[in-house]
């Protein structure tokens, strides 16, 4: 005997609408999917490719429907062209952290994603990320690229030392600074295929060196082959070219920050802050502190505020930190 089936109607929970008309966008490399909704609007979803002409059509569609707010995830770098097209048009564009959007499980599609983002936007449940002004974003590009190149130069200098060790040139054992004038001149001689003599040592030796002339001479006599000379030449050309690019970047960064010289000079008075550190600091957080309500917000945005992940009385390690530690193993 079959029992009776009872159907319970579930009430829909509604949120107060804090944004009158909004748009949720799901961003991908080749397409963006957008859903508009709000007061006096019929909910509609459209798909656009990511060419500039299509993004312009997206902008015109939003303006024609009176949309005031747009929200999308910070997906790689793909959100940036969308932001650059929509933001100058007077739209309030929010870039939100994907971790702050908890999708309803099941039936996940691009259309469902952008509709869910739109719903959260209208209900005022999203929090925009800090997006600096265009000038600051450009400055960031320069300082971050400079840092990458400086790291590359340091890596190549270490590679030079490994090659010298491979041919038993023991400069790193007798000199504290293997990138100084003395070491550079000796490596230049080695790269030229010259066998180091005592007279060569005397021509570069000075009293500030801790090693004796005899120790320096012994350190420079190894088993240098043509392959070592070739590798050293290639690496040193790479270092020279990269250092020239760094010089060019330094000049452009200096010109961009010239209007803030008074502020930079004040920051340089803080113990431990070099010119590069001050420039990087300004590029990352800017000079307008109104973007951060308190110092705690700034510390949190900079990733210097420890989180708290606790369940059933047990504290769990931060997953991102664990992944970082794994990658360093």
Is residue 313 in a domain?
no
Query: 9 pLDDT exceeds 60?
Result: no
Determine the pLDDT at residue 16. 67
pLDDT of residue 68: 95
Q: Please report, in angstroms and rounded to a whole number, the separation of the first and last CA atoms in the chain.
A: 64
Tell me, yes or no, whether 216 and 141 share the same domain: yes
Q: Decide: 127 and 96 in contact? Cβ < 8 Å.
A: yes
Confidence of residue 106 (pLDDT cuts 50, 70, 90): low
More confident residue, 244 or 132: 244
Q: Do 109 and 163 reside in the same domain of the chain? A: no
Q: Are residues 182 and 113 in the same domain?
A: no
Q: What is the pTM of this model?
A: 0.78
- pLDDT mean over 85-99: 92
Can you say whether the dihedral through the CA atoms of 162, 165, 171, 172 is positive or negative?
A: positive
Q: Does residue 200 fall inside a structural domain?
A: yes
| Residue 6: band (very low, low, confident or very high) from pLDDT cuts 50, 70, 90 | very low
* Residue 127 within any structural domain of the chain: no
86 φ/ψ angles, rounded to the nearest 5 degrees: -85, -40
- 85 and 152 part of one domain: no
Helix axes 79-86, 52-64, angle to 10 degrees: 50
Number of domains in the chain: 2
Domain that holds residue 63: 21-122
Residue 304's pLDDT is: 79
pLDDT tens readout for residues 157-203? 999 999 999 999 999 999 888 888 999 999 999 988 888 999 999 99
**Are 148 and 240 contained in the same domain?**
yes
CA–CA separation, 160 and 178 (whole Å)? 10
DSSP string, 188-211: HHHHTTPPP-HHHHHHH--TT-SS
Pick the last residue of a domain from 98, 122, 146: 122
Assess whether 112 and 142 both reside in one domain: no
> In a 3-state reduction of DSSP, which class is residue 326?
helix
Instruction: Look up the CATH number of the domain holding residue 99.
Output: 3.30.420.10
């Amino acid at each position: 005997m079959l029992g009776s089936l009872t159907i319970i109607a579930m009430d829909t929970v509604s949120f107060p609408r804090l944004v009158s008309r909004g748009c949720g966008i799901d961003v991908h490399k080749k397409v963006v999917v957008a859903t508009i909704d709000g007061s006096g609007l019929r909910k509609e979803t459209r798909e656009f490719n990511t060419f500039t002409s299509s993004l312009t059509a997206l902008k015109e569609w939003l303006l024609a429907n009176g949309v005031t707010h747009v929200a999308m995830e910070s997906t790689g770098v793909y959100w940036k062209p969308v932001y650059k097209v929509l933001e100058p048009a007077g739209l309030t564009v929010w870039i939100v952290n994907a971790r702050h959007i908890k999708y309803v499980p099941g039936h996940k599609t691009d259309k469902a994603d952008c509709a869910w983002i739109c719903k959260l936007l209208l209900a005022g449940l999203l929090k925009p990320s800090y997006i600096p002004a265009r000038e600051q974003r450009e400055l960031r590009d320069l300082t971050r690229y400079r840092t990458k190149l400086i790291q590359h130069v340091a890596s190549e200098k270490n590679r030079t030392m490994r090659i010298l060790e491979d041919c038993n040139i023991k400069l790193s054992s007798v000199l504290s600074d293997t990138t100084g004038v003395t070491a550079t001149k000796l490596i230049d001689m080695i790269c030229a295929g010259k066998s180091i003599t005592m007279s060569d040592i005397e021509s570069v030796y000075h009293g500030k060196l801790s090693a004796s002339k005899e120790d320096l001479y012994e350190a420079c006599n190894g088993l240098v082959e043509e392959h070592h000379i070739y590798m050293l030449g290639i690496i040193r050309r790479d270092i020279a070219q990269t250092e020239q690019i760094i010089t060019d970047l330094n000049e452009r960064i200096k010109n961009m920050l010239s209007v803030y010289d008074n502020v930079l000079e004040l920051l340089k008075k803080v113990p431990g802050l070099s010119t590069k550190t001050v420039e990087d600091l300004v590029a990352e957080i800017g000079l307008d502190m109104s973007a951060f309500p308190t110092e705690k917000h700034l510390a949190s945005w900079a990733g210097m505020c420890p989180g708290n992940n606790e369940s059933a009385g047990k504290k769990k390690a931060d997953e991102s930190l664990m992944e970082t530690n794994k990658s360093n193993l």
